Each structure stands twice: as structure tokens, then as C-alpha cells.
Structure 1
Amino acid sequence: MEIAKVDTFPLLYRLTHPYGDANGYKKYRSCFLIRITTRSGIEGWGEVIDWLPVLEKGFRERIIPFLIGKKATDRLSLVKIIKKWHQRSASGVSQALTEIAAKSAGFSICEMWGGSWRSSIPLYASFQSYSDTPDWINRSLHLVEKAAADGFDQIKVKIGGRSFAEDQSHILALQRQFGGTLQVALDANQSYDAATARQWERLFSEWSNWLWIEEPIPMNQVQDYKLLRASLSVPVSGGENLKSVADFLPLLETRAIDILNPDVMHMDGIDGFRESLQLARHFGLRVSPHSYDGGLCRLYTLFAQACLPAWSKMNDDSIEPVEWDVMENPFTSIVPLQPENGHVTLPQGIGIGIELDLSILEKYRWDGRTYV
């Protein structure tokens, strides 16, 4: 199965209203898809996240010339080389080559991975809580209310982007409005020091509906994570930006974290991502994958979670939720899956088992102009 062609699809959408987290506001959403085609006509799709000019130039000048003529079944060796040039691109290539391998064998992705344990995966609605208006708290509560009406009972909201007092006012308003009926995760995007993060315990002790606190401090502060985990009554999670399985080991060996949040788009390929999920199980920990940036990578995340054994022997069907972006973003519809009552049923067909909405690729194709 020789690779004959690689197509790229850089997409850009300017948001109606900026929204953001502790890292600042987003004014646009971007998406970069690739399609690898073999000489026999088998296609595989992958997704990459980064600045579009960098991705387009990198694929055109280096990655595509390298891939043409190579065997599509040599996924591991091809990905190993590409990740030396640009790790995130390697992840997208690994997705596309995985789909080609599955299609050539007549398998679904899960069947090629040995079969799934479940066909439906729980989700949590993921929010970018901040907006550039004085009434940002009310706007945030309105978005949560809409998600709850759509059937989500697990959510993640942002902290760390405002003063501590303002953030606590936001979370208290959220708890009072929904009366603890929603399970809530807080994501600080590594914005605190350990002393400030511990102050959240005052609020944690008043409610029992917490999922976790995510990345309260920088991920390289392993010893502080260990101390923080011991001082908080809610689970501590993190790891969305870690690049390899090895990067998780210091956190796991010191028991500094309760829940892993790896992201397939930030790791060294779909195979490395799956290894990170299994690593959590080897250490007896939960893993709730981060999957914010795109619909296709989210689909691969769902497949991987479906193939992961249950985290608790008390319930052999228990599985942790996967992130579901509910913010304004047309690219989440490229893969036309719709959640129902906070769960999504996975496609069962050959390869990824679902047709991408190619009309979105044409409508939002990036025109090459600089954007900020």
C-alpha cells in the first residue's frame, strides 16, 4: 500500500464574540486536516493543531515529499521520523495511517485495536468561561444552562483568568443556580501557585459534586502537586500538554496526580496516546482525555476510551468521561456525531465508520492571509 497523495485542508473561523480561559481570549478557531491516499485508492484522515502557516509550509515542503512513495503500513517508523520535525504533525499522520490500515483489513478502528468494551461514552461539556464583557459571569451561567438543557450532567469551567475572589463568585453562582445537580470540574490552566490553589479547599468542602481540579499549578512542579493532592478533598488532574508517555512517569511514580488528561493532538501519535491511557490503568488511576481542539481527534479519543478497560472492578462498564467542546466552533461538526443525554454512541463502520462533512472544509478554507 504505497502512499500516492497527501491533501491538506487548513481551516479558519473568526468567532462572533471572543471567549477564553486563563491563557487569554480566543478570537478565532482553526483546524488542519490531512487526507492520505494510497495508490489503490484507500483514504485516511488525520487532524493537527498549530498555527496554520507553520503547518501548511511544513507539510508542503517536507512532510508530503517524505511520505509520497512510502508504505502506508509502516506507520510506526514514519511517525517516528516526522515527530522529530514536528510532533503534532506526526500525530495527524498517525491517525490517517491508522484509518488506512483498518480499511485495508476491513475493520473498524476499535476492531483493529482488539475490540471495544463499550459502544457509548460519557461526555463532559467543556466551556471557555471568560468573555470580554462586564457580565461575563451571567454569560457563563447561560452557556451552562443551555448545556444542562441539552442533557449534559458533567461540565468543566475555567478558573485562574480573573482574581481569586471573582472566580470564586463565579463558581458559587454556578453551584447555587444548579443546586449541585451538575458534576463540576475546574480547570486553572496552570495559573496558580500551590498556596493559592489550596484556597479552593474552602469551597470544595462545602459541596460534594466535584469531578476534579485540573492543572492548578505548572505541571513541572511535581513535588508541589504531590503536596497539593494530599491537602485537597477533590481529585487533581492534568497532562493535556505532555508530549509522551514518559512525561507522565514523574507524576505517577510520586503519586502526585489522581486523573490523567492526555490529548492525542499533543502527543507523539495515536499509538503513544493509547499507551498513556493504559499507563494510567497500570498505576490504578483514572484517565479522562482532553479533546478540545477538533472533531476528528475527538473521535479517535472516543475510540481509544471505548477500548480501555474499566477503571473500577466494582462496575465493569464504568469509564471516565471525554471532553466535548460546546463553545462556538463550526469545526466540531466536521465529524457529524451528536451527543444525547451526555453520552455519544460511536460509529461502527469500517475505518472511522462515518463520513466527514466535506462542505465545512470548503466553506472555511483558510485563504492564506495572516490572522491573529
Structure 2
Amino acid sequence: MGQNELQTGLGQRGEVISVQLHSVISKAQLNVRTVRSYQLVHEAYRYVTIKAHLPGGAHIGALRTKIALVHVTMRGVEWSCTATSTGSIYQLSFGKLHTRDDGMKIARVGFWYLRCTLRRRQGAATGLKSQRSSVFVRIETSDGAVGWGETFGYRVLEQHWRDAAEILVGASCLESNRLVDRIAAFDMPLAGGVDIALWDLKGKIAGLPICALLGGAYRTAQPAYGALLNASEAEDIVGAVIAETEDAVARGHIAVKLRVGYHDVATDIAWVNALMDAIPAPTVFPIDANRSMDLATARRFIRSLNHPERVAWFEEPLPRSNMRAYRELRNSIDVPVSGGESVPADLLDDLIARRELEIINPDVAGHGGLERVGRFWRIADANGVKTIPHCFDGELARVATLHLLASRPDWTERQTAFPTAPLECDLAENPIRDDLLDVPLEPGKDGTIAVPTGPGLGVTINDTVLRKYAVAQL
């Protein structure tokens, strides 16, 4: 198009606007039959339904801009338009009219490895941490739209960053599944971070939150639970964990995940019982053993609790080398058994099919993104297995998980600790998390966290965090 600009009207959301198109340049009988796809962009990201009345043999189809994509058919005629609505005339430009591939192409990709030192060591059965870390992904299109993602900082290979950038730059962000699959072939967690960034980018281009792109939100706020890293070098084990749990409850959490397995099983049984006596119902406790127990120890631990009915689920008690024992454990205790956060995708499929677990805990970052975790969710549903995604490290990954959870219906069972899959909220010390978002994720009085309604992830990143904590970048 020669003029390369479309002027139209912007009314209230959902308002119907009548548009009359007028020929700017007419050329006789060019018979151009090519159908081109264009992108309609406006910074306000609202959408309207447009009824078009077209002269001269041209027509515009699919002019419902809910996802900010408009398909325009032109037959040798260039058009501009103005819009009227209820007597008021609007002359607001939606910006350049691009071909779909032009405006959606990835121009730049950046990676940052962030790390911070903790005031005291904290952890789980796997050991105590003195640092927290994360990897951030930034993807920018040729139009200047930006998407952010995040993944684990446990393993950082800069060559993988360069390989991922080579795959992404020049490609269309609308080909996200294909791009993520290529990166997943050599680095699954990195693919998860890239996937989150691409969803954020597509949501911003469309002017819609990620949960809307996933089919729409079932709720405006999602149930959540706090997660501790309560293993420590504290002399008073009971006093320390009670203080952390009381703080979590005071912040609005009605469920708090505990870590066992760092101490011997008798010590764990004693402090968990003391905690449950100190923190009354209705607070419930997911308990995570981080693969530290054998079958007999896991049974002994649960059977020795004074209030096993307050255990929301028992997470990863057994090692990956003994996955078939999970069914034996399920059949011998009256507590839901969960796992899967550290299990490769092909093995997780097998665990679901055999129903070794009552709950699976795939990770949006660790298992390659929203599309892959959504696939696990559908398979689990078909096999009568619940999905509660793992999401401990990474606030952007948590926001992406929040959108996924909001797009899923409530469970059909009502006699459960939660009405639907809850969001895991890391409560352990983490300055990177605390400084990242302009508006942090915090539960309300009912223990739920509001689902962001802005485009993409729907959050604003404080990018000074990148400069403050970055130890490597590309």
C-alpha cells in the first residue's frame, strides 16, 4: 500500500463502528488477486467490531480485531478510511499497516544470568543454598514490541544462548511452537524461558493477557500457597519453622509448603507435629521431601503424623530411580502423592499413564513452556490425575504459571484442599524476586492472587534488577 497508514476510530470496548471506505487512487482493471495479511496495531490495545461498507469492488474480511490481526483483500485499489461513531468523529491512527511476517519478525534477543547472595543459608533435603539465581530472556520484534521470559539459573551455558538467538532472530514470533521445539532439543529449561517471552510478546501484540490467548480465564484470582525453604542451620528447628509459617499465614496464605528430609526422619516427624499443633486448622501443609526417602521411610513419616488429614499432598518423597514404588506408596497411605518436577518429559508421560502419582507437578520453565505443560495437563486429565505445576524459582515464570492456572476449570471433586490447582509462591529470601516487579504478587485475605489483566504477562518489570544482579549477559 502506497500510503502505508490506516486511520480509523477507537470507541469503547466492544462498540460497533460503521466505516465508509473511499478510494484514494484508482487504477483501471489491474486484476491483482493476491490476498495479503496485515497487522493492525495501536498502543491502547483495545478492540472493536467494525462493520464495513465498501465501494468499488474491494472488500475487507474478518474485521474483528479482538486479536489485533486483520485480513485485508485489495484488488488493485489503495484505500484510506475515517470512522464515525454516534455523531463523534475520531481520526486516530492505528499506526503502520504491515504484512504479518514483517511486523512479527524477531529482531533482537537478550539473555541475562542474575545471581544474589543470601543473608543466611536456607534450603531443603537437597542441601542449603547461599545464593539464588535466575536467567532472563528478552525478545524484541522489528516493530519494537518486547516480550520477557525467565528460567532456571542452576545451569547456564552461554553457547546455548547463542544457539537460541540464532534460531530466533529473523523468525516470526507467531511460529513460537516450532522455535521452542528447536531450542528444547538441546536445552529444555532455556526453551521454557523463551516460550514465556514469546507468549508475553504475542499477548502484547494482540493487546490481550496470556490467559485470554489460552482460551480465557475461569477466575479473576487464583488460589495460592506459600512455599518455604525451611531447612536451615537454626538450633531451634521448631521455633524457626513456626515463625516462618506464622509470617506466611499473616501474609494471607491459607496453605504453606514445608520441606522435610534435611534432618533425620524422627526429627522431621517431631517438628512437623509441633508445627501443626501450633498453627491451627484450616491451614494445610503440602510437604516436600525432595526425593530423600525410601518407601519404608516415607510410609513411616506419614503414619507418624498426628494430623495427616492436614497434609495437602506429599511431594516427591521417593528418588527418580524408584518411580515404580510410588504406586505402592499411594496404595498404603491416605495422603495424595505428587511428583514430576524433576522428571524428563517422556518419563512423566509414562507415570501419568500408569497412574503412579495422584498429582503431577510439571514446571513451566523446566519442562519447556506453557504449551508443553498444557499438554501434560490434558493427558493427566484423561487419566484421572490432577496437575499442580511446580513454580518455586522465578517470578516471571510464576506469572506465566498464574495465567495457565487461571485458564483451567475447577476440579470436579469438592472434598479437596483446593477447588482448583493453586499457585506456588516462593516465600524464602530472594532479592531478585522482591525487586523484579513494580507491583509484587501478594495474596488477598482469602489466599488468592489476582490474575493480571494487562497485555501479555500483564506485569511491569523493573529492569534495574538486570544491572544490579547480572553476572553474565548476551
TM over 0.5: yes
Is residue 337 from structure 1 mapped to residue 441 from structure 2 by the alignment? yes
- Cα deviation for residue 68 of structure 1 reads 1.5
Q: 1:231 to 1:313 in 2, by over 3 A?
A: closer
8 Å contact from structure 2 (residues 286, 312) kept in 1? yes
| Residues 1-372 of structure 1 mapped to structure 2, 5 A cutoff | 1-51=104-154, 54-59=156-161, 61-204=162-305, 206-244=307-345, 246-312=346-412, 318-333=419-434, 334-335=436-437, 336-341=440-445, 342-366=447-471
Q: TM-score, normalised by structure 1?
A: 0.92
- Cα deviation for residue 322 of structure 1 reads 1.5
**Structure 2 counterpart of 1:104, which letter?**
I
Q: 1:313 to 1:210 in 2, by over 3 A?
A: closer
Q: Could you report, residue by residue, the CA deviation over 1:59-81 in whole angstroms, capped at 9, with x for unpaired residues? A: 1x322233221222111111111
8 Å contact from structure 1 (residues 222, 250) kept in 2? no
| Greater strand fraction, Structure 1 or Structure 2 | 2
8 Å contact from structure 1 (residues 185, 210) kept in 2? yes
8 Å contact from structure 1 (residues 160, 188) kept in 2? yes
The higher radius of gyration belongs to: 2
8 Å contact from structure 1 (residues 219, 238) kept in 2? no
Q: Give the Cα–Cα distance (whole angstroms) in 2 for the partners of residues 86 and 347 of structure 1.
A: 29
- Cα deviation for residue 250 of structure 1 reads 2.4
- Helix, strand or coil at the partner of 1:156: strand
**Structure 1 counterpart of 2:347, which letter?**
D
Q: Could you report, residue by residue, the CA deviation over 1:2-24 in whole angstroms, capped at 9, with x for unpaired residues? A: 11111222211100000010000
- Helix, strand or coil at the partner of 1:8: strand
Superposition RMSD in Å: 1.9
| Greater helix fraction, Structure 1 or Structure 2 | 1
- Cα deviation for residue 218 of structure 1 reads 1.5
Q: Could you report, residue by residue, the CA deviation over 1:188-237 in whole angstroms, capped at 9, with x for unpaired residues? A: 00111101111023234644212011111023423311111000011101
- Helix, strand or coil at the partner of 2:324: helix
8 Å contact from structure 1 (residues 55, 89) kept in 2? no
- Helix, strand or coil at the partner of 1:184: coil
**Structure 2 counterpart of 1:169, which letter?**
A
- Cα deviation for residue 171 of structure 1 reads 0.4
**Structure 1 counterpart of 2:246, which letter?**
E
Structure of greater relative contact order (alpha carbons < 8 Å, 6+ residues apart):
1
Q: Could you report, residue by residue, the CA deviation over 1:3-58 in whole angstroms, capped at 9, with x for unpaired residues? A: 11112222111000000100001110011111100111111111121346x34443
Q: Give the Cα–Cα distance (whole angstroms) in 2 for the partners of residues 311 and 282 of structure 1.
A: 13
Q: Give the Cα–Cα distance (whole angstroms) in 1 for the partners of residues 213 and 375 of structure 2.
A: 15
- Cα deviation for residue 367 of structure 1 reads 6.1
Moved more, 64-73 or 39-48: 64-73
- 2:26 counterpart residue number: none
Q: 1:203 to 1:181 in 2, by over 3 A?
A: farther
**Structure 2 counterpart of 1:310, which letter?**
D
- Helix, strand or coil at the partner of 1:231: coil
Structure 2 stretches of 5 or more lacking a match? 1-103
**Percent of counterpart pairs with the same letter?**
33
8 Å contact from structure 1 (residues 242, 266) kept in 2? no
* Total equivalences in the alignment: 364
